[in-house]
Chain A
Amino acid sequence: MSVDLEPVIDSLKNEFPQDILNIKEYRGETTLLVSKEQISKICAYLKDELNFTFLADLTAVDYLEVKSPRYEVVYHIHRFGPECEENIRIRLKAELSEDDIKIDSVTPVWSGADWLEREVYDMFGIEFTGHPDLRRILMPEDYGPFPLRKDFDVRNREASKRSFEKALEEGAD
């Protein structure tokens, strides 16, 4: 673990003793598994108290038949300081089980999370409670399945066909 990251993790552990579930190190990157109920509080704490002002990325992973709980929402958070003299990156993960795919939105913390969360919703069907405008972003609004789920059938063209035909009908009016 990098020297800079130690105080960050210590203060997180102090503030949320119950909610830091696991810490992993791989290829110089630190991953924290946190409980999903506290995600927006942890993110707000990271931003306001520990100065992690920059949300680099927000995405999700589907671990169908690999592990349970099935989904992971992944946050890449970055602190570079006011003059960009620092460079601390941290990865947070929250696990979501299949029957409750809801997690608090972090858009109130970083407004840049808006489209990133919409994309995760679009691709995985994960709902972000408290998101101001949770609509599909890349796929058509009436497209049914969620493409980046592992059980999505790539060969099945039905959903695309349906939205295409609907668009044609609407265009004909």
Chain B
Amino acid sequence: MERVEFISEEAIVNEDGTRTETMMLNMGPQHPATHGVLRIVLHLDGEIVVKAVPYIGYLHRGIEKLCEHITYQQCIPYTDRMDYIASICSNIGYILAVEKLLGIEDEIPERAKIAEVILFELGRIESHLIGIGTHALDLGAMSAFLYCFKERERIYDILETVCGARLTTSYPRVGGLPLDLPENFEEIVRNFLKIFPKTLSEVESLLTRNRIWIERTKGVAVISAEDAVDLGLTGPALRGSGVPYDVRKATPYLGYENYDFEVPVAYEGDAYSRYLCRVEEMHQSLKIIQQAIDNLPDGPYIADLPDIVLPEKELTYTKMESLIRHFVIVYEGFKPPAGEIQHAVENPKGELSYYLISDGSGIPYRMRVRGPSFVNLQALSQMVEGSLVADVIASIGSLDIVLGEIDR
């Protein structure tokens, strides 16, 4: 890392010998409002930001490199550790990419697909709750944060019932679900659908027309539609600028074309627009979950593909062939044909895509993750230059980044 000199070279020496210069202020990497380990070097003229240079990489674990040494199934837990706020969404995105690489999309049972849609949308709600809650907390609104975190806890409870883990889910498997959904799954999801709209409207009533909230977010961190597309922004950051691009509509996966939902768009391109998009997206996610849970069929939860899917545990104890199959899949992994694919999903924060290259062995030759937060964070400098220092916090919050995925 280069050394940052705290006295600018471009100082102007006045007639009386005093100097006029911009001040450098180091923000982060340990700063509660940077949502992780983000460091920004701010060049200030009084309270106005002249230049902002983000530094990232403090959480770099080399996930792409690690995945070049392990089998396709073993990569799943690493995908949790990227966007750890909605880890189930990164899991499902990865699973779908591997299924595309194997060419088995059509073999996945309906029950698994619909369960994945439900979990994906719960992940979206969870991520938006944290996004809005912490954004509000950064700007001083404590109560909205508490409401959001209370609801998020309910989603964690659902995830815990389904897969035993709350944060790092590692849930689906290539081919479907590792275990059937718990018996009370439908009941707890329906219960959530009943309770959540009330809290959501409470959060909305705390913020949407709150004068302080509006003044802190309206007209702040503005980015035009052209700039947003040019910078490659996706997710609420793009839709808040009036571009209705959503991967779920553009290239539907998991049968999203069968669900009736809208893509919310706001046109101002400021932090408030992005907030509105997120709130409306939660409403739309509820709509999707409602349709999905109504259509959740019984039947198999994992595809019948002996070369790819592990045999049932019971059979590995009693049958020789199953035991052999189990060993082969665990030790060598399944072997996708040589080739390369890219698969994109609409993560809560934007387009998450995996680019997988197979050389015909059980280990990915290359796994590339295009994380939405990484690309979205590029817009930060443009958003904050010329604004007040206090608006830097509002800008970071409104971008809703997660450093685990930026640094990978």
Query: Residues of A at under 8 Å CB distance from B?
Result: 26-27, 29, 31, 53-57, 59, 61-62, 66, 74, 76, 80, 83-84, 87, 89, 91, 110-116, 119, 123, 135-142, 147-148, 152, 154, 167, 170
Contacts and interface: CB of A to CB of B under 8 A. Distances in A.
B57 interface: yes
B230 A57 contact: no
A147 B407 CA distance: 14
Contact of A111 (B231, B351, B365, B408): B231
Contact of B342 (A76, A114, A116): A76
Given A26-B339, A110-B232, A137 B378 contact: no
A140 B1 contact: yes
19 contacts: A56-B353, A57-B370, A59-B370, A76-B370, A83-B244, A84-B243, A84-B250, A89-B251, A110-B231, A111-B227, A111-B378, A112-B378, A115-B374, A115-B377, A119-B374, A138-B60, A140-B1, A148-B65, A170-B3
A137 B351 CA distance: 21
B150 interface: no
B302 interface: no
Given A61-B366, A84-B245, A139-B57, 6 more contacts: A74-B355, A83-B244, A87-B251, A89-B251, A140-B57, A142-B1
A169 B395 CA distance: 34
A154 B357 CA distance: 20
B355 A76 contact: yes
Contacts of A170: 3
B312 to A, nearest CB: 30
Interface in B124-183: none
Interface string B1-45: 111000000000000000000000000000000000000000000
B102 to A, nearest CB: 10
Interface residues of B, number: 46
B245 A147 contact: no
Contacts of A61: 357, 365-366
B347 to A, nearest CB: 13
B65 to A, nearest CB: 6
A148 B341 contact: no
B245 A80 contact: yes
B64 A148 contact: yes
Contacts of B374: 115, 119
Nearest to A110: B230
A56 B64 CA distance: 18
B250 A57 contact: no
A56 B344 contact: yes
B359 A66 contact: yes
Contacts of A152: 65
A27 B355 contact: no
A61 B340 CA distance: 11
Interface string B207-246: 0000000000000000000010111110000000001111
Interface in B96-113: 100-101, 103
B344 A59 contact: no
Nearest to B60: A138
A56 B370 contact: yes
The 6 closest A-B pairs by CB, nearest first: A112-B232, A138-B57, A57-B370, A87-B250, A112-B231, A138-B60
A141 B359 contact: no
A4 to B, nearest CB: 12
Contacts of A142: 1
Given A54-B229, A112-B378, A141 B245 contact: no
Contacts of A139: 57, 60
Interface in B298-319: none
Contacts of B377: 115
Given A66-B359, A147-B65, A56 B230 contact: no
Contacts of B103: 27
A119 B375 CA distance: 11
B250 A76 contact: no
A88 to B, nearest CB: 10
A84 B262 CA distance: 13
Contacts of A110: 230-232
A138 B407 contact: yes
Nearest to A63: B365
B375 A116 contact: yes
A123 B366 CA distance: 13
B351 A56 contact: yes
B276 interface: no
